[in-house]
Amino acid sequence: PERLKQARQFVERAIKQRKIFMVNGPYPVIRRRLLGRGWVERKFPKVAKVVNKRERPPDGEQDEDEGEEEQDDAIDSTYSLMSRLVRNQIPYFIWTNRRDVIDCRLLRKDQMMNHYAKAGTFTTKVGLCLNLRNLPWFDQADADTFFPRCYRLGAEDEKHAFIGENCSQCSPSPCFPSPPLSEDSLGVPFLPALDSHQRIMCPSSLLW
């Protein structure tokens, strides 16, 4: 049929361009974006589910479930047809919800995955802070000019440096005299309403 011919041509072009991907988990946006860019999905291997004997459904219900699964797998669509055509091809992009789903040591150099081992120096706050701190050893650039200063508060010396910097940047607030207290008919002191030009501020040194 014409649809099968077009699917084969699309798959052959995707194989030449190395546009075969696998997705493990419910990621419809990832699938839709990749399919829209000419990628073909290779279905992730299904893990057989172990049915507990106590929870084993009756024979009639089990046959119906198996029939529904076979019917779902046999859906005659272009994407499912192309997925069957690339079931033996190497996926060049793999998207998983967990890193241990795929053994990274078995991947080829031309395969990509959305998880990387030992990437803490770039994907954690502490690793990013240390890389910025060590930037002068590799380039003549000051990290403070393009990235906010950061400190590892778990390290005692950096904790004191952080506190010292904040104290040096603190300036006492100006102090304006407050209006005198008045007393009502019961002798209870209260603060009268202030005019628009009056305000009360206290120096930061008086804060407890």
Residues 150-162 pLDDT 10s? 888 888 888 888 8
**Please, which pLDDT band fits residue 201 given cuts at 50, 70 and 90?**
very low
What integer pLDDT is reported at residue 25 of this predicted model?
Answer: 87
Residue 103 neighbours by CB distance under 10 Å: 8
Question: In angstroms, rounded to a whole number, what is the distance separating the alpha carbons of residues 94 and 42?
Answer: 10
Looking at the DSSP bridge assignments, the partners of residue 59 are: none
What integer pLDDT is reported at residue 75 of this predicted model?
Answer: 41
Residues 158-182 pLDDT 10s? 888 888 876 666 655 554 555 555 5
Does the predicted model carry a pTM greater than 0.75? no
Give me the residue label for tokens 């049929």. Answer: 1
**Please, which pLDDT band fits residue 59 given cuts at 50, 70 and 90?**
low
| Tokens coding 3 | 């649809």
Residues 126-157 pLDDT 10s? 888 888 888 888 888 888 888 888 888 888 88
Give, in degrees to the nearest 5, the angle at Cα 50 between 47 and 53. Answer: 170
Among 124, 135, 205, which Cα is nearest to 171's?
Answer: 205
Instruction: Give residue 57's identity as a one-letter amino acid code.
Output: P
Residues 66-117 pLDDT 10s? 555 554 443 447 888 899 999 999 999 999 988 888 888 889 999 999 987 7
